């Protein structure tokens, strides 16, 4: 087995903090799980540290999660290892309330000539044609219509 790249060495204060945190049990499951991972992975404790696979089995998670928690602890510290990472790749919504209202009104109107019903592709093309959005996929249209509980029957 290769040497571990990210070695967890908790200070006494960190160990006490995590032990107290876990004994309360009133936090999110993610924080509790990550705290357990760090305590199991600690090389400075009196008990020997476990392998990632053994920790994963003990905590009922993936070994990859153990590896990620180790890495975040070593690179970013205890708080970062315990708390959820802030998502930075969030994209702004394509459809605001006004655009969704236009979409619903269009979907409820008569289908264009030569078509029995509106398809997601036709609705997406209509939104672009009417300059409501620059571009949009049929999947985004589907999700917007699903959110409105639109029943056309």
**Residue 51 to residue 91: CA distance in whole angstroms:** 38
Domain spans, the chain: 12-82, 97-147
User: For the segment 75-87, what is each residue's pLDDT rounded down to a tens digit?
Assistant: 998 888 898 777 7
Q: What mean pLDDT is predicted for residues 72-77?
A: 90
How many Cα atoms within 13 Å fall on the side-chain side of residue 119? 8
**Residue 10 to residue 49: CA distance in whole angstroms:** 11
**The predicted structure's pLDDT at residue 99:** 92
Say if residues 22 and 35 touch (Cβ distance below 8 Å). yes
What is the chain's mean pLDDT, rounded? 86
Higher pLDDT, 95 or 1: 95
CA quadruple 110, 113, 119, 120: dihedral sign: negative
- The pTM for the full model equals 0.57
Q: Closest Cα partner for 16 from 43, 37, 35, 41?
A: 35
**The predicted structure's pLDDT at residue 153:** 44
**Residue 153 to residue 78: CA distance in whole angstroms:** 54
User: For the segment 22-44, what is each residue's pLDDT rounded down to a tens digit?
Assistant: 888 788 888 999 999 998 888 87
């Amino acid at each position: 087995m290769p040497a571990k790249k990210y070695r967890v060495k908790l200070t006494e204060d960190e160990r006490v903090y995590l032990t107290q945190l876990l004994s309360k049990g009133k936090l999110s499951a993610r924080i509790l799980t990550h705290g357990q991972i760090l305590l199991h992975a600690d090389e400075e404790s009196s008990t020997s540290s476990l392998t990632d696979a053994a920790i994963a089995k003990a905590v009922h998670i993936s070994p990859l999660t153990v590896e990620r928690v180790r890495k975040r602890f070593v690179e970013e510290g205890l708080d970062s290892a315990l708390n959820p990472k802030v998502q930075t790749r969030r994209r702004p919504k394509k459809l605001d309330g006004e655009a969704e209202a236009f979409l619903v009104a269009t979907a409820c109107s008569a289908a264009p000539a030569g078509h029995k019903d509106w398809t997601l592709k036709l609705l997406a093309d209509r939104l672009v044609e009417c300059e409501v959005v620059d571009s949009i996929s049929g999947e985004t249209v589907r999700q917007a219509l699903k959110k409105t509980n639109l029943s056309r029957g």
